[in-house]
Amino acid sequence: MFGQMSDLFDGAGAKYLSAVEVEAARSNQHEFQGTGRFRAFLGSPPGKQTFPADFHWLTDAEEALPPVRAFCTWSDVRRGRPGRSPEYHLYYAAESDPVVSRARAGDLLVIARRRDGSLLVLLAPGESTVAAQLLWLFGLDLLAGGTVARRMGAEDGSALTLAARRVLEALGLALPDPVPAAFDRLIARFGLTFPATAALSAFARETLPEADPRADPDAALLAFMEREEALFRHLERAIVAERLTQGFADHTGADVDGFLSFSLSVQNRRKSRAGYAFAHHAEAVLTAHGPAFSREATTEKRHAADFLFPGEAAYADPAFPPDRLTMLGVKTTCKDRWRQVLAEADRIADKHLLTLEPAISRAQTAEMARAGLHLVLPKALHDTYRPDQRGALLGVADFLALVRERERQAP
């Protein structure tokens, strides 16, 4: 764990937008309506209060629109009217239009007040996965419609789990990041260099002897990933800091190309390493349970399946029963890339995908089900999904039981 949501936020609220709030053809008032409940975290100031605000338009696409820095005002429009109860309105600055204008009626609005007093104004398509993740992240339930809000205190702040960190980091937030206990051992073994991904993954597991993949494969897989994420972040910070102290200069002066190349390498390493790490830890969990499998097995059209059970040779044997074959794709996040798994093993009608993606939308899980794709997630992530989605989810232990059952079937 990496702290609490209450370390970052005072509170948050959410609602679904109406046309008059965001569509210029219907209104130009620049007001989010029906936000009275937001007093739970915005307070009840005697006069107009202005909040610096970062506006984000978020979708399930890989690339996000850059956020816009502007402001919101919060005030009692009935102030000075004796006998009238307070009525607080929330207005957003016209400078936020490049983001707000993307939203339409039915889209989600989440507003979160950060500990420094600024706001995050988060807008997302109403039926998207990112919308479901925002509601889960801030502990907001909009199933009944209307407006919801909550203040976060130390006693009820949600934990900054690995899944929560991934959602928050997509917003560009700086998060609390305690140094893992094994970091000094990491430096002693590898120095200020990036070890091979398999070596770093093995080291992370080595430092967690209490995580038992045989006794609890779901918890062990999450623990391995959390430990490696923490180790990598601190190693990256140390390596990047050392490189920055050297500066970027050549015989012509500032080495802009060198800086840009270095920056790009940092970003690319982050993205690729997480995927490799997840596959390494998944392999370790599978190996601990002993089913026969091939990793990165070649199937038709030179496709490669992340894990194929009982193996590549059985898959290539036309006499081997297809209903005893199992394929497991591995992706830390799904986005639209989950469809890639569908093409990786034609002989297997029902495929499985292991992921760390929390709170995938109902619409997307329904589409996955229609395509014959079954989601496998560590059990701790199942609660991020709606109750009516959870029955179709498999835990890591559930998946291993399925594989063992198919192994026991007569040829």
Top-confidence residue, 24 or 370: 370
DSSP, collapsed to helix, strand or coil, labels residue 119 as: strand
pLDDT digits (tens, 9 = 90+) for 230-274: 999 999 888 888 877 877 777 677 777 777 777 777 777 777 899
Q: What are phi and psi for residue 20, nearest 5 degrees? A: -70, -15
Q: What pLDDT does residue 67 have?
A: 93
Cβ count within 10 A of residue 143 = 8
Instruction: Give the pLDDT band of residue 170 (cuts 50, 70, 90).
Output: confident
Q: How far apart are the C-alpha atoms of 359 and 124, rounded to whole Å?
A: 14
Residue 65 has pLDDT above 90, yes or no: no
Q: What are phi and psi for residue 303, nearest 5 degrees? A: -70, 155
Q: How far apart are the C-alpha atoms of 352 and 291, rounded to whole Å?
A: 16
Domains of the chain by start residue, with CATH: 9-161 (2.40.330.10), 183-283 (3.40.91.80), 294-408 (3.40.91.80)
Q: How far apart are the C-alpha atoms of 55 and 128, rounded to whole Å?
A: 18
Q: What pLDDT does residue 98 have?
A: 92
Q: How far apart are the C-alpha atoms of 79 and 88, rounded to whole Å?
A: 9
pLDDT digits (tens, 9 = 90+) for 97-149: 999 999 999 999 999 999 999 999 999 999 899 999 999 999 998 876 689 99
259 Cβ contact partners less than 8 Å away, ≥ 6 residues apart? 248
**What type of residue sits at position 50?**
T
> CA 391 → CA 337, 355, 357, 366, 406, distances in Å?
23, 17, 17, 12, 21
Q: What pLDDT does residue 188 have?
A: 95
Q: For residue 365, how far is the Cα from the chain centroid?
A: 16
Verdict on whether the full-model pTM lies above 0.85:
yes
Q: Please provide the DSSP assignment of 249-316 as one string.
A: EETTEE-HHHHHHHHHHHHHHHHHHHHHHHHHHHHHHHHHH----EEEEE-GGG-EEEEEES-HHHHH
For the chain, helix (H) and strand (E) counts, in that order, are 13, 15
The strand pairing partners of 124, in sequence order, are 108
Angle at 193 between CA 232 and CA 253, to 5 degrees: 110
Do 58 and 124 touch, CB atoms closer than 8 A? yes
